[in-house]
Amino acid sequence: MKVIITGATGMVGEGVLFECLGNLTVTEVLIIGRKHYDKTHPKLKELIVKDFSEIDNYSELLKMYNGCFFCAGVSSVGENEESFTKKTYDFVVPFATKLSQINPAITFVYVSGNRTDSTEKGKVMWARVKGRTENALMKLPFKSQYNFRPAIMTGTKGQKNVKTIYKILGPLMSPFFPVKTLKLSEVGKAMINAVSKGYPTQILEADDIFKLAK
């Protein structure tokens, strides 16, 4: 299996990358980003772009991959709906649309968030925007498309990019919420299994991700 990962310089993307590099099912990983990720590995390739809209220029390369794990994203803290939409919906959906045209046989996994609002009508701004993003992605002509909604996550040994809040809350909550608190290695395994095995629903809450990682 050959996979693409976005957001390798962030917490989730880096954790998923570590799992993919250590997983025997995955033979090659292409990380797409706007800045260099300082790691070398025999499986690892890197594509640096100024803008994610540039992927049209790499269509022949992108046709070679079986899965895309879109882990790039920003926090909604300090954002209004317009700015968060630009950094979320307007960032993810055009990229995914182009990728679906280049490689419709690929499985696309998007890291969304716990309590995302599929109705797009709730009171919580970020949840509406994430819901709108998920709904748009589910309409694209990929082989398969899944939206992961993890909550608390714990990092993998050796990760550089683990947010302080997760370092504190992850270990505290794990004994009490073993299913809802996910290791990033489990998130990565679930993504790999989504490509190889599939899953009956397109929206995966924490419990679904835990099951798929098995």
Instruction: Show me where the domains of the chain are located.
Output: 2-212
pLDDT along the chain (214 residues), means of 10: 96 96 98 94 97 94 98 94 97 98 98 96 97 98 98 80 49 51 95 98 97 97
* Sheet architecture: strand order including 203-205: 44-48, 28-33, 2-6, 67-70, 107-111, 144-149, 203-205
Cα of first residue to Cα of last residue in the chain, in angstroms, is 18
* pLDDT reported for residue 181: 87
Tell me the CATH number of domain 2-212, given options 3.30.830.10, 3.60.40.10, 3.40.50.720, 2.60.40.1290. Answer: 3.40.50.720
Question: What 3-state DSSP class applies to 115?
Answer: coil
Q: How far apart are CA 67 and CA 202, in angstroms?
A: 15
